[in-house]
Amino acid sequence: MNQTLLVELFTEELPPKALIKLGEAFAAGIAAGLTARDYLNADSVVTSFATPRRLAVSISNVRATSPDQELREKILPVTVGLDASGNASAPLLKKLAALGYADVGVNQLERAPDGKTESLFYRHTAKGLPLQTGLQHAVEESIAKLPVPKLMTYQRPDGTVVQFARPVHKLIALHGTEIINITLMGLTAGRTTMGHRFLSQGEIQLSHADNYAASLENEGKVIADFSARKANIRTQLQAQAGDDLVLMPESLLDEVTSLVEWPVVYTCHFEAAFLAVPQECLILTMQTNQKYFALTDANGKLRPRFLIVSNLATATPEHIIRGNETVVRPRLSDAKFFFEQDQKKTLEERAAGLSAVVYHNKLGSQAERMERVRSLAAYIATQLGADVGLAQRAAQLAKADLLTDMVGEFPELQGIMGTYYARIDGEAEEVALAATEHYQPRFAGDTLPASATGTILALADKLETLVGIWGIGLQPTGDRDPFALRRHALGVLRMLIEKQLPLTLSGLLNQTTALFNDNAAFTDPGVALSSFIYDRLRGILKDRGFSPAEVEAVVAPQPDLLANILQRLDAVTRFASLPEAAALAAANKRITNILKKTDQAAGKVDTGLLQELAEKALCDAMLDVSPKVQSAFASDDFSNALQTLAALRPAVDAFFTDVMVMAEDPALRANRIALLAQLHGLLNQVADISKLAA
């Protein structure tokens, strides 16, 4: 019969940060093993369970016995298996015996071609295997592949030495109501598990695999499903927050969910005097050190209360609340102390200390690095007509907070604390903001710097990292990107595109490269880095919904100015929908191939050498269209420029039908190539439309 299968490992407390992956891998591994052995049906549903003290999986509609299989096994080539008389050879008899087919005669074997040779095959029906056999293998395979951060070695009472993430105490394997007699890590499967360490009434006997989650919840005070437990915590947090907003990053929710089996949320308080400390510091210490959830008002201002997720439900939670309030106070006091101590030195005084902080042994200290950033920021500010003094001052101070006690304790606050301390020091607001903003965007989808100075410094900082690290041979390889150069490249591109900055990519890279001229360990990354950046650009544009062909049309020419690249793409999209687009794209592709095969440089078109009516018509059409295209292009009206080109289609089609480009007369051939080169330039000002050709 098909029944629900349940497998559970009951353990000591598992590592919380690994629990989600362990639970998913445990379930997926067993399901994959059973699928491979044909115990599951198309409608079988796999449900993963994971709590601090258990990994489990429930799979519906599992067969008790795998189906019989019709097999056709190759035994041996005929030349080896049969002697000259057609009788079984010694190698054949030996092979059949080894396979368990000693009673099979030659007359039961099939002779059939097998590639270039004729071989002997044995057709037979293999009986299905009981679930116990398949499950034993599937569980062992799953356990062997679990992403355990660090294995523990321990000894069971019977002397068995076991390795696992944590000691395992019980094993359940139920198929419906029946125990499947598998063994694992010195344990034999049964139907008994344990509930909550304190709230449960003792052992829980499972009568049926379908009752697992309900029995644990009702009798054991355990919410076994990770997602259900997480949703329960989220609901309780929001209820306890009332009119306030609860800060619950997903990573913190996941970790807390991995620490409790029966979550209960309680409200705690801290002294309002601590609110004088930057709230980011208080929030971070509560989240990082204590796994607490901070609360803010509707305007985002921190409230002097916080929420805890306890693993213990009690009618008298006062001692739990008091204990957590006592624990958090020293943490908040430390943050207050660091904040007060840091203010005894200005950021300018600290900046000098960056000379003792190594950035990279081939690139010097942080002070040397920031001097390069300062120079680059001045160049960018000049190009943009921004305040050069603010940009240079921001670069001088941007990394100084790395030497503060607060950032030393909480590296995640770098930049944020720089903004606070810069304001306290009386620095210009744009200089203060740049301390935070120059790290932006920190991740995919993050906001860009809002201020002009912050944008300039963010560009300079990321470009210096890209060029410098690449130039000493530490470019990304495969999945490895320890210096986050992909993220830096994406940040540079997003700022150039989304802020429509009138800066050329080549100008920025050349200016940055020049900063390393005196470094003997540095090699100009040149074309390799440019190609890397344009590859990232392709990804950004595809993520915005443009087709690969449209993106390639715009990116293949490697445009130097990216401020208008989205307008170019929109124009290409509109052009691609025109009835003339396919023919012009194909013609442009043909022209590109002709020009590639031509050794001579294209000169000017001599109208006196135009003989065929079709080439004269094409020249006249180009003379008519060119001023309109140039005017539209100059005003960034790329859509109009491309649509105007559509008028050339009849003349282009006629040219390729009636004119022999590679004429025997060298002068005619050169003139026609010149005409095509002029047409090629006209067609590709906005984008390489040949990339739109199928």
Q: Are residues 374 and 324 in the same domain?
A: no
Work out the percent of the chain whose per-residue pLDDT is above 90. 82
Q: Are residues 83 and 161 in the same domain?
A: no
Asked, for residue 61, whether it belongs to a domain, the answer is yes
100-142 pLDDT per residue, tens:
899 999 999 999 998 889 999 999 888 899 999 999 999 999 9
Q: Are residues 293 and 331 in the same domain?
A: yes
Cα–Cα distance list, 578 to 408, 437, 520, 587 (Å): 60, 43, 54, 15
- Are 493 and 537 in contact by the 8 Å Cβ rule? The answer is yes
Q: Are residues 469 and 483 in the same domain?
A: yes
Asked, for residue 396, whether it belongs to a domain, the answer is yes
653-692 pLDDT per residue, tens:
999 899 898 888 889 988 898 998 888 888 888 998 889 8
342-397 pLDDT per residue, tens:
999 999 999 999 999 999 999 999 999 999 999 999 999 999 999 999 999 999 99
DSSP three-state, residue 408: helix
Query: What is the residue range of 495's domain?
Result: 363-406+426-544
Work out the percent of the chain whose per-residue pLDDT is above 70. 99
Q: Are residues 529 and 624 in the same domain?
A: no
Among 29, 23, 17, 8, CA closest to 226: 23
Asked, for residue 349, whether it belongs to a domain, the answer is no
- Other C-beta atoms closer than 10 Å to the C-beta of 501 total 19
pLDDT at residue number 125: 85
Greater pLDDT, 579 or 14? 14
* Structural domains counted in the chain: 5
- CATH number for the domain including 208? 3.30.70
pLDDT at residue number 593: 86
293-325 pLDDT per residue, tens:
999 999 999 999 999 999 999 999 999 999 999
Q: Are residues 59 and 152 in the same domain?
A: yes
Q: Are residues 438 and 528 in the same domain?
A: yes
Q: Structure tokens of 592? A: 């590109």
Measured distance CA(463)–CA(512) in Å, rounded: 7
Give the residue from 80, 95, 126 where a domain finishes.
126
Asked, for residue 591, whether it belongs to a domain, the answer is yes
Asked, for residue 567, whether it belongs to a domain, the answer is no
Measured distance CA(472)–CA(461) in Å, rounded: 17
Asked, for residue 419, whether it belongs to a domain, the answer is no
47-60 average pLDDT score? 98
Q: Structure tokens of 111? A: 């002779």
Instruction: Band the pLDDT of 9: cuts 50, 70, 90.
Output: very high
| DSSP summary character for residue 127 | P
- Are 295 and 245 in contact by the 8 Å Cβ rule? The answer is yes
Q: Are residues 631 and 683 in the same domain?
A: yes
Give the residue from 190, 220, 250 where a domain finishes.
220
DSSP three-state, residue 52: coil
pLDDT at residue number 694: 67
Among 87, 137, 77, 84, CA closest to 112: 77
Q: Are residues 236 and 190 in the same domain?
A: no
- Other C-beta atoms closer than 10 Å to the C-beta of 50 total 26
Task: Give me the residues paired with residue 266 across strands.
Answer: 308
- Are 538 and 554 in contact by the 8 Å Cβ rule? The answer is no
Q: Are residues 158 and 202 in the same domain?
A: yes
Asked, for residue 312, whether it belongs to a domain, the answer is yes
Mean pLDDT of the chain: 94
- Other C-beta atoms closer than 10 Å to the C-beta of 482 total 9
Residue 45 phi/psi, 5° resolution? -110, 130
Is the model's pLDDT at 530 over the cut of 80?
Answer: yes
Q: Are residues 237 and 334 in the same domain?
A: yes
Report angle CA 499, 503, 506 to the nearest 5 degrees: 130
Cα-to-chain-centroid distance, residue 186: 40
479-499 average pLDDT score? 95
Q: Are residues 102 and 57 in the same domain?
A: no
Asked, for residue 74, whether it belongs to a domain, the answer is yes
